[in-house]
Structure 1
Amino acid sequence: MGGSGAGGTNTGKRPNGQLGSWFLRSGWSKGELARQVNRRARQMGAHHISTDTSRVRRWLDGEQPREPIPRILSELFSERLGAVVAVEELGLRSAHQSPSVSGVDLPWAGPQTVALISEFSRSDLMLARRGFLGTSLALAAGPALVEPMQRWLVPTSAGGQEQPEDEPVATPSRASRLSGPELDLLESTTAMFRLWDAQCGGGLRRKAVVGQLHEVTDLLQEPQPEATSRRLFRCAAELAELAGWMSYDVGLQPNAQKYFVLALHAAKEAGDKPLGSYILSSMSRQMIHLGRPDDALELIHLAQYGSRDCATPRTQAMLYAMEARAYANMGQPSKTKRAVRMAEDTFSDAGVDGEVEPDWIRFFSEAELNGENAHSYRDLAYVAGRSPAYASLAEPVMRRAVDLFAEDTDHQRSYALNLIGLATVHLLKREPEQSTALAEKALKVAESVRSERVNTRLRKTLDTAARDFGDVAGVVDLTERLTAQLPESAEAV
């Protein structure tokens, strides 16, 4: 029988038809779902949970499991089916959540933003020390996500009343305890964290970034001159976005979304619209990952509209590339190709006038541009029923990205992801030998990068290869080596 942590109340007399429907769509057996729940629980540190087939049967019969089981099931079905599956859609009840730790419709005001970031980062640090992460959050999607984000562009004062867009929020004019060099050091530390993430993946320094974010909120709770406050809010926004990105990279999707939302609030307080557009692009990428390209497109269009007069060409090119990814996943070839061309044309103007660009956009290099555009064509191929024509469009662009990333030791995770991307292109073209050779290179890089995103994509690629080309010796050999060399799930820290 399942352990006490997997139990619940048997108040329902009728079978849970909603859960049963999602269960059938997943293709899992009861035993496999039980194993998935136990694996995710161990990953979170909930070692008291021990689920078996009889417990899964009781859930399907109407038993209401206790937390964190509903959250685990929501995450598992969302990942399995490539779309957000909320707890309520499973016919389950979630624990009551206070507005401060759940939802994305938060007050757009400086003091509340600081308090929310401080509370969430502190909770994350405390829970991370016990290895118990992400169980109190639910992902938002559709209007519940997009509509609150649209208020990013509505000018507000600290009291919540509209004000002229260029009028600064009043702050105490007291001497700052922070010197210019100290603020410079905070900003350079954020840049260093960003570099570590690109080199090593999100799993190695996530807690350090969250800790630094919490320290910055402590400074923001002290009276600061306006100029200092804006710099601190900008630093908080960058750190919160990076914490979200790292959470996304290690598979903590609800945590990632919460950090992205808080980052956007901080960017608004900093008055930094280009940074806000970058944060929205990260949210858009997450929505594509979760099978919500329509939400991704709305977020990107909001980012483009909000920064149209102030973003650098490099930032605008990145937004066009993400627009292409959204259109590709929506199965719209002509709009995808147009956005790809806009990304390429706009990128050609990057750095031409010598404009100094913020550190957060410097990652968007020629290699990254090619990688994004190639993935758009690759995604089109999948949406169009594994079209070899779109795969052929993707191949030279993806190969260019791989060649450029091979020379860039600072972006090893991107190198691995593009190797995997090129491997999937060769699978689409029914070329298993070339695909396996690329996946083998990616496996070597993956061993030095703590990124569940890389590991998951590698596993999925080889699963596809084994399904379609299980009689090819190289595919069988690499699949066995992957199982031996990469853990089933990287520990999220």
Structure 2
Amino acid sequence: MTEIGPALRAARLAAGLSLQGMAARTNYSKPYLGQLETGARMVRVEHVTAYESALAMSLSPLYARLPVAAQHEGELSIELAAFLVPTIPAGGAAAGFTLAESVATERLARWARGLQWSESTPPRRTVIDWLKANLPRLHQLSPGTDRAERTLRAGAELADIAAAMSWDVEDTESARQYYLDAARLAHTAGDAGLVAAALAGLAMQYLDLGRPEDALEVAQLAQFVARRSATPRLRGVLAHLQATAYGIVGDTMAFERETAYAAECHLEAAAHPPADTAVDRSLTALNLSFLLGPRRTWPGRGRQSELLGPSYRHLVANRPQLADAAFGMDRTPLSTNIIEPAMTVTSAARLHLMLGEPDRAAELAGVALTLAGPRAGGRTAARLRDFQHESLAFAEASADIRAVRTAIAEIPTAR
């Protein structure tokens, strides 16, 4: 594996191309490519393919030298491998949507996206009923016209919404199928970014199910699919997913590398506000789902905190500046129409637990309790109870943690 990176560098230099020039041709960042070429980051099949395309030359001898774990072929399921081959149009005029239907599909997607995290009136049934009636038509729709591609993107967004809402109520099999539907429709539309956004949702679901290796594979596939068109925001999301997967399996070095790259992407994205596209709406929803979690347990009685905590604390101890950049509370505020302030503060408190800062965590949890009030319910109460479980390890040494845990225990179990 260590010989492949230098071989890529030699091929690039032989073509007279700088790292910056290669970054422009592949849509990987200059630091990312530098890590590949020095062996700091594992080279995978999609990286070799990207170099071949950028340099217009064959690097076929390198494929045989890739580690088995880095080769997607033979490892990906048939469903996922389908995203690596060109789309073949399947339908014709009979499968087409009228202009009125296309406009209505786009309006439905925007309406559903705005309500998908509603505690009281989520539009899950409406969206799923629409998809059951129209998915066969969408899968037969031939791309090539602006109307068809717009309809396919809107259909992909609706499938992504259905997936997130199914995951929200812990219907994991439906969520998985809808994420795949979303990726297929986006693939047919030729929207690689939307394919990657849908696959990112699937990767997050695998993390929640305790399958970090599968999450890593899907996130890497998403990165490969969108390698030429990914925005800094999308690259940052995918790097964060990979970092989380590496952290859960205990690969501290890989966790730090992906965290550094994610932080770099977030800084780049901050200078370019997101556009109002299906991709950006999907990524916003993914960010919200990270914060909210399913309506009941996520990802299961504090398990994520237990597994990720050591990687986070190692990062704080060894690379404090990177920890500040990666986990600082300076992200763009989320709409209070979707998330109550108490939820945001609770999320920050849980993060400080993983960073090994129980006093700060207890302080924030106390603020969250004040904001939530005596009638806290729904997801806010559920996430406070997650904090209560996750803070158990600090209870003996911290009186502040003990006090907050007692206050959380007094929250009524129902409204």
Note whether the superposition's TM-score is higher than 0.5: yes
**Does 1:308 pair with 2:234?**
no
Match of 1:197 among 109, 116, 139: 116
Match of 1:172 among 76, 79, 92: 92
Partner of residue 464, structure 1: 390
Partner amino acid, structure 1, of 2:126: A
Partner of residue 236, structure 2: 317
- Residues in 2 aligned to 1:186 and 1:352: alpha-carbon distance in whole angstroms: 32
Output aligned runs, 1:412-427, within 5 Å.
412=339, 416=343, 419-426=346-353
Structure 2 CA distance for partners of 1:357 and 1:326, relative to 1, 3 Å: farther
Q: State the TM-score, normalized to the length of structure 2.
A: 0.62
Structure 2 CA distance for partners of 1:442 and 1:421, relative to 1, 3 Å: farther
Partner of residue 480, structure 1: 409
Could you list the per-position Cα deviations for residues 320-357 of structure 1 after superposition, in whole angstroms to 9, with x for gaps in the alignment? 22222222222223322222232233344448689955
Structure 2 CA distance for partners of 1:446 and 1:352, relative to 1, 3 Å: farther
- Residues in 1 aligned to 2:390 and 2:353: alpha-carbon distance in whole angstroms: 12
Question: Per chain length, whose mean CA-contact separation is higher, i.e. which structure has more relative contact order (CA < 8 Å, sep 6+)?
Answer: 1
Structure 2 CA distance for partners of 1:386 and 1:232, relative to 1, 3 Å: same
- Residues in 1 aligned to 2:126 and 2:140: alpha-carbon distance in whole angstroms: 22
Partner of residue 14, structure 2: none
Partner of residue 4, structure 2: none
Partner of residue 240, structure 1: 159
Partner amino acid, structure 2, of 1:422: A
Q: How far off is 1:429 after superposition?
A: 2.4
Conservation of the 8 A alpha-carbon contact between 1:316 and 1:343? yes
Conservation of the 8 A alpha-carbon contact between 2:206 and 2:215? yes
Q: How far off is 1:262 after superposition?
A: 2.7
Conservation of the 8 A alpha-carbon contact between 1:436 and 1:478? no
Structure 2 CA distance for partners of 1:237 and 1:218, relative to 1, 3 Å: same
**Does 1:147 pair with 2:67?**
no
Partner of residue 217, structure 1: 135
Partner of residue 69, structure 2: none
Could you list the per-position Cα deviations for residues 248-273 of structure 1 after superposition, in whole angstroms to 9, with x for gaps in the alignment? 12222232222222322333333322
Partner of residue 294, structure 1: 213
SS in 1 for 2:391: helix
Match of 1:440 among 345, 369, 378: 369
Partner amino acid, structure 2, of 1:400: M
- Residues in 1 aligned to 2:107 and 2:235: alpha-carbon distance in whole angstroms: 24
Match of 1:337 among 256, 260, 269: 256
Q: How far off is 1:147 after superposition?
A: 1.9
Partner amino acid, structure 2, of 1:338: R
Conservation of the 8 A alpha-carbon contact between 1:469 and 1:475? no
Match of 1:327 among 220, 243, 246: 246
- Long gaps (5+) in structure 1: 1-142, 156-164, 488-493
Partner amino acid, structure 1, of 2:369: E
Higher helix share: 2
Q: State the TM-score, normalized to the length of structure 1.
A: 0.54
Q: Give the paired residue count.
A: 322
SS in 1 for 2:116: helix
**RMSD of the TM alignment (CA)?**
4.4
- Residues in 2 aligned to 1:385 and 1:338: alpha-carbon distance in whole angstroms: 13
Q: How far off is 1:477 after superposition?
A: 3.6
Conservation of the 8 A alpha-carbon contact between 1:422 and 1:438? no
Conservation of the 8 A alpha-carbon contact between 2:106 and 2:154? yes
Partner of residue 86, structure 1: none
Conservation of the 8 A alpha-carbon contact between 2:183 and 2:198? yes
Partner amino acid, structure 2, of 1:458: L
Conservation of the 8 A alpha-carbon contact between 1:416 and 1:445? no
Q: How far off is 1:279 after superposition?
A: 1.1
Match of 2:190 among 247, 263, 271: 271
- Residues in 1 aligned to 2:392 and 2:371: alpha-carbon distance in whole angstroms: 17
